[in-house]
Amino acid sequence: DSAGVALTAPGMERVAVRKKAGRLANLVQDIERDPMPDATVGIGHTRWATNGVPNDTNAHPHTSRDGKVAIIHNGIIENASQLRLDLQTEGYRFVSETDTEVAAKLLGKISDKIIEETGKPDLFKAVRRLARMLEGAFTILATDVRQPDIVVGARHDSPLVVGLGEGENFLGSDVAAFVAYTKRAMEIDQDQAVMVSADKVVVSDFMGNIVPDPKTYTVDWDASAAEKGGWDSFMDKEIHEDPAAVQRTLLGRLDENGNINLDEVRIDEHDFKAIDKIIVIACGTAAYAGMVAKYAIEHWVRIPVEVELAHEFRYRDPILTPRTLVVAISQSGETMDTLMALRHAREQGSKVLAICNTQGASIPRESDAVLYTHAGPEVAVASTKAFVAQITAAYVLGLYLAQVKGAMYRDEIAQTLESLKDMPRKIQWVLDTQTKTVQEAAEQMVDAKSFLFLGRHVGYPVAMEGALKLKEIAYVHSEAYPAGELKHGPISLIEEETLVVALATVEKLFDKTMANVREDKARGAHVLGVTTEDFAGEIEKYADRSLIVPKAHPLLQPSLTVIPLQAFAYYIALARGCDVDMPRNLAKSVTVE
Ligand code: M6R
């Protein structure tokens, strides 16, 4: 909702700051019109408002009283009101409503104190002192005109990663920020500070103890993967990457002895065998992937699986034992709600396995085992390829548990993996044959005020995902229900021309779902049906329009059923003139609670 930069160079009296409300393009245009000075270091920020409305003043960076120090900040400083009052009593004035300005003024004060004590500036020390005074979640980056060759960062609960270049170094919330310049990255752990210059990176804890050997890794995708590459939008590109996302997530999972491999496992086989319950924690789309996992894992492994929104889980005293496996699903690996829930689970003695798309992110780092979804970077706010990759990974996890616990025969596991390997081809078939019909349906329904998505069995979480996509990017009211639930209340919403999207891809429940469709039609609903090839002729008798997906094992069907729904939301949003990649009010990675 706003963006800004602060630049520092030798000889500057004050940090050069420029910030603008609105899209990043506003800031870019402003700087092109009126260029900023050359600099040796810079910090930049895009804001998602938490404290104070999105305007030029509240945008970051914020500066110290004398303008010599500037900071940018992600997170929420919970003791900002008290710190602000203390500073106000000392005569400090504030121009913005943000917690970040409080931290900036305080950092200025600390920096001056250090100069008084030692005779020279020490931004690294000042940021560490500041970090010890702040409560809440934060990643802070700071620059000081008196040390124009360094940038200093500190993190507590919010993400921060270093990019290691040649004669230049970078800091970002995420490797995507610098992958165009370097693929070598360094992890910054919880409660660590970092000082970066062109040729040096020093990491310490908040007390100043140097971390001798911070972990480094190489990013396994290219900058081009995070570019549009000829597509009109990232969302369209990423929907078309659904087949590849599934394929890559399955790659190398089966070794020569027919055993399934996870990426990192810090849980011994004995503990895995003892697991008697699974709780999936996740938010949004990732939680719907968890709901799909429940159906498959309970069927294959015969242990109960609960799915819980991470922000609810943490505050309700869930029953967790060392025999509970908590599965944290997250595309970004930085969703604060999921991270906090994971920490809670580990504190209670449960093991945590992460299903994550982002190498080196906080969630996989803090988990006992990791299964990466190798979907490649997902840029559009609406999750698409990550969802199909997440359910694929969840299937792999289910089969892995079945293998460890001896719940399925080896050849049965291998056969299921074979069917999974055929999914990319089938998804591609949907994209190739159904896109035109989806687009026509979307154009016909573009003015609808409300949608009802119905599904049964594994179709239900897919219905939830379809409804979420539509609200998120097209701003249309949409709800999802298990089709059988309609008669218990929601059917009263149906009137002439209500739009119903009915998912009837679970073969054994086709007739029951069609009975529900007939009930809706009898009350005036307009129905878009989704079914498998075998029922293509049948569904035409009931639905006004239909979309077809190939038939698969019933538990694997969601990987196919969701594809036309992603495309449907995309085309509705497009026809309504919405920005499909950056829907209003949303951030790609939700790093606040
Ligand atoms: O990065 P995560 O998978 O943890 O994100 C969870 C949700 O915030 C995310 O899935 C969100 O619901 C998407 N924008 C949905 O398209």
Ligand 1 in contact with 590 (CB < 6 A)? yes
H runs (alpha helix) in 336-421: 336-347, 362-365, 385-405, 410-421
- Distance in angstroms (rounded) separating the CA atoms of residues 507 and 578: 36
Q: How far is the CA of 223 from the centre of ligand 1 (A)?
A: 22
Helix axes 242-250, 385-405, angle to 10 degrees: 20
pLDDT 10s digits, 208-254 = 999 999 999 999 888 888 889 899 999 999 999 999 999 999 998 88
Q: Is 591 a residue whose pLDDT tops 90?
A: no
- Distance in angstroms (rounded) separating the CA atoms of residues 72 and 140: 6
Mutate to test the pocket of ligand 1, among 331, 391, 588 (most ligand atoms within 8 A of CB): 331
Confidence (pLDDT) at 360 = 86
Task: Indicate the Cα dihedral angle 88, 91, 96, 102, nearest 10°.
Answer: -60
The model's confidence at residue 585, banded by pLDDT at 50, 70 and 90, is confident
Residues of the chain with pLDDT > 70, as a percent, come to 100
Confidence (pLDDT) at 299 = 97
The model's confidence at residue 572, banded by pLDDT at 50, 70 and 90, is very high
Ligand 1 in contact with 285 (CB < 6 A)? yes
Ligand 1 in contact with 563 (CB < 6 A)? no
Quick one: which atom of ligand 1 is closest to the CA of 589?
A: 1
The model's confidence at residue 428, banded by pLDDT at 50, 70 and 90, is very high
The model's confidence at residue 569, banded by pLDDT at 50, 70 and 90, is very high
Confidence (pLDDT) at 459 = 97
Q: How far is the CA of 570 from the centre of ligand 1 (A)?
A: 16
- Distance in angstroms (rounded) separating the CA atoms of residues 389 and 68: 47
Mean pLDDT calculated for residue range 371-379: 95
The model's confidence at residue 496, banded by pLDDT at 50, 70 and 90, is confident
Confidence (pLDDT) at 11 = 96
Q: Is 258 a residue whose pLDDT tops 80?
A: no
Confidence (pLDDT) at 225 = 87
Ligand 1 in contact with 335 (CB < 6 A)? yes
Q: Is 19 a residue whose pLDDT tops 90?
A: yes
Confidence (pLDDT) at 226 = 85
Any idea which of 3-17, 113-127, 261-275, 451-465 has the lowest mean pLDDT? 261-275
Ligand 1 in contact with 283 (CB < 6 A)? yes
pLDDT 10s digits, 382-426 = 999 999 999 999 999 999 999 999 999 989 998 999 999 999 999
pLDDT 10s digits, 50-72 = 888 999 999 999 999 999 999 99
Ligand 1 in contact with 331 (CB < 6 A)? yes
Please name the residues in contact with 331: beta carbons below 8 A apart, sequence gap of 6 or more: 285, 286, 356, 357, 358, 373, 375, 378, 383, 386, 390
Ligand 1 in contact with 381 (CB < 6 A)? yes
Any idea which of 264-268, 435-439, 533-537 has the lowest mean pLDDT? 264-268
The number of beta carbons lying within 10 Å of the beta carbon of residue 441 is 23
pLDDT 10s digits, 518-556 = 999 999 999 999 999 999 999 999 999 999 999 999 999
Assigned token pair, 289: 């992937």
Residue with token string 């999105």: 54
Mean pLDDT calculated for residue range 81-87: 98
- Distance in angstroms (rounded) separating the CA atoms of residues 419 and 409: 16
Q: How far is the CA of 361 from the centre of ligand 1 (A)?
A: 15
Ligand 1 in contact with 7 (CB < 6 A)? no
Looking at this protein, which amino acid is placed at residue 538?
Answer: E
Ligand 1 in contact with 502 (CB < 6 A)? no
Ligand 1 in contact with 358 (CB < 6 A)? no
- Whether the CB-CB separation of 501 and 565 falls below 8 Å is answered with yes
The model's confidence at residue 279, banded by pLDDT at 50, 70 and 90, is very high
DSSP 3-state of 303: coil
Q: How far is the CA of 335 from the centre of ligand 1 (A)?
A: 8
DSSP string, 220-240: SS-GGGGS-TT-S-HHHHHHH
Ligand 1 in contact with 378 (CB < 6 A)? no
Q: Is 464 a residue whose pLDDT tops 90?
A: yes
Q: How far is the CA of 591 from the centre of ligand 1 (A)?
A: 11
Confidence (pLDDT) at 106 = 98
**Strand bridging mode 369-372 / 264-265:** antiparallel
pLDDT 10s digits, 179-212 = 999 999 999 999 999 999 999 999 999 999 999 9
Which conformational region is residue 293 in: left (phi greater than 0), alpha (psi within -120 to 50 degrees), or beta?
Answer: alpha
- Whether the CB-CB separation of 549 and 505 falls below 8 Å is answered with yes
Ligand 1 in contact with 70 (CB < 6 A)? no
Mutate to test the pocket of ligand 1, among 335, 359, 367 (most ligand atoms within 8 A of CB): 335
Ligand 1 in contact with 435 (CB < 6 A)? no
Confidence (pLDDT) at 280 = 98
DSSP 3-state of 290: helix
First to last CA, the chain: 18
Which conformational region is residue 528 in: left (phi greater than 0), alpha (psi within -120 to 50 degrees), or beta?
Answer: beta
pLDDT 10s digits, 231-241 = 999 999 999 99
Q: How far is the CA of 462 from the centre of ligand 1 (A)?
A: 15
The model's confidence at residue 497, banded by pLDDT at 50, 70 and 90, is confident
Q: How far is the CA of 293 from the centre of ligand 1 (A)?
A: 16
Ligand 1 in contact with 539 (CB < 6 A)? no
Confidence (pLDDT) at 546 = 96
Ligand 1 in contact with 284 (CB < 6 A)? yes
Looking at this protein, which amino acid is placed at residue 429?
Answer: W
Q: Is 338 a residue whose pLDDT tops 80?
A: yes
DSSP β-bridge partners for residue 164: 169
Length of the chain: 593
Q: Is 430 a residue whose pLDDT tops 80?
A: yes
Mean pLDDT calculated for residue range 270-292: 96
Quick one: which atom of ligand 1 is closest to the CA of 390?
A: 3
Confidence (pLDDT) at 593 = 83
Mean pLDDT taken over the chain: 95
Confidence (pLDDT) at 246 = 97
Ligand 1 in contact with 383 (CB < 6 A)? yes
Please name the residues in contact with 523: beta carbons below 8 A apart, sequence gap of 6 or more: 491, 494, 495, 498
- Listed residue (85, 98, 83, 93) closest to 45, CA to CA: 98
Assigned token pair, 50: 């938490």
Q: How far is the CA of 571 from the centre of ligand 1 (A)?
A: 20
Q: Is 268 a residue whose pLDDT tops 90?
A: no
Q: Is 117 a residue whose pLDDT tops 90?
A: yes
